[in-house]
């Protein structure tokens, strides 16, 4: 399983995004893997389509891509607070990291700070330069 950060999904869906080709390549290379995202990540991805009146289309695209929601555990508030306090990541990035921790999945992100935090917690990161 791969937990996908919002920046990868947004870049994949938005052809004018600077990371569009990179996102497409990453998703093609991992096509056999299940994709997942935290609820907050999916909300981030849906903001622009919602503003444009395209939320149904965006949800259909996420479904077609096979992205499922990682339900956060009952202790998520305390775990998110700990991640926020110890990593100094923004809370949306902490949600991504918690989804990775809960599932034991790889992380796909273009965010260097999130990638570094994930690696420091022992997680495999995809989408970063070698």
Q: In total, how many domains does the chain have?
A: 1
CATH of the domain at 27: 3.40.50.1010
Global pTM? 0.94
Q: What is the pLDDT of residue 80?
A: 97
Supply 50's token pair: 């919602």
Question: Which residues have a Cβ under 8 Å from the Cβ of 5 and sit 6 or more positions away?
Answer: 37, 41, 93, 96, 107, 108, 109, 110, 111, 114
Question: How confident is the model over 31-74, as pLDDT tens digits?
Answer: 999 999 999 999 999 999 999 999 999 999 999 999 999 999 99
Q: How many CB atoms lie within 10 A of CB 76?
A: 16
Task: Indicate the pairing of strand 35-37 with strand 67-69.
Answer: parallel
Task: List the domain range (segments joined by +) for residue 40.
Answer: 7-126
Considering the domain boundaries, does residue 18 fall inside one? Answer: yes
Q: What is the pLDDT of residue 130?
A: 58
Considering the domain boundaries, does residue 1 fall inside one? Answer: no
Q: What is the pLDDT of residue 79?
A: 97
Nearest to 112 by CA among 17, 19, 16, 14: 19
Nearest to 107 by CA among 25, 33, 21, 24: 33
Considering the domain boundaries, does residue 42 fall inside one? Answer: yes
Q: pLDDT > 90: what percent of the chain? A: 98
Considering the domain boundaries, does residue 57 fall inside one? Answer: yes
């Amino acid at each position: 399983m791969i937990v996908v950060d919002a920046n990868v999904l947004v870049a994949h869906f938005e052809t004018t995004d600077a990371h569009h080709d990179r996102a497409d390549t990453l998703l093609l290379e991992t096509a056999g893997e299940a994709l997942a995202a935290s609820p907050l990540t999916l909300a981030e991805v849906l903001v622009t389509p919602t503003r444009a009146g395209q939320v149904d289309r965006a949800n259909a695209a996420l479904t077609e891509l096979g992205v499922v929601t990682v339900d956060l555990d009952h202790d998520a508030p305390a775990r998110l607070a700990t991640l926020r306090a110890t990593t100094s990541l923004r809370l949306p990035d902490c949600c991504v990291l918690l989804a990775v921790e809960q599932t034991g999945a790889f992380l796909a992100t273009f965010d260097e700070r999130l990638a570094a935090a994930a690696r420091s917690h022992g997680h495999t990161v995809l989408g970063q330069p070698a």
